[in-house]
Copies of this chain bind each other. A is one copy, B any other.
């Protein structure tokens, strides 16, 4: 994940949040789960910072959006306890996989602070901005 790509996606996420009239924090990590860029909009509940990091890491480390991850990594879901690995993963939406044009995972983005549907929508806009 190049800084230029991450910066471009981050700007797209922020613009979409402003368009929706919500405040969020956004973390973009590389394929190994290490942060590349992060920002927190004014007024976001502070607990969301850790959440957006964990969403991004979940997507990067398991090659799955966090919403899909949450379908299996939950009580009764077939991989219960998976969410407790790797320092804590996220079992609901807002973390999205980032792939290059060849389909290779190059990172993850996590959005937190708004309703889960909005967090996901913001992440989708950011990922789409890469191509």
Interface residues of A (CB under 8 A from B): 2-3, 6-7, 30-42, 45-51, 54, 58, 60-63, 70, 73-76, 78-86, 88-92, 105, 116
Contacts and interface: CB of A to CB of B under 8 A. Distances in A.
Given A7-B39, A42-B3, A47 B92 contact: no
A45 B74 contact: no
Given A84-B84, A88-B84, A75 B75 contact: yes
Given A3-B39, A41-B3, A49-B35, A81 B90 contact: yes
How many of these chains are in the complex? 4
Given A48-B62, A70-B80, 14 more contacts: A3-B41, A30-B32, A32-B32, A32-B34, A34-B46, A46-B61, A47-B86, A54-B85, A70-B81, A74-B75, A74-B76, A75-B76, A80-B83, A85-B90
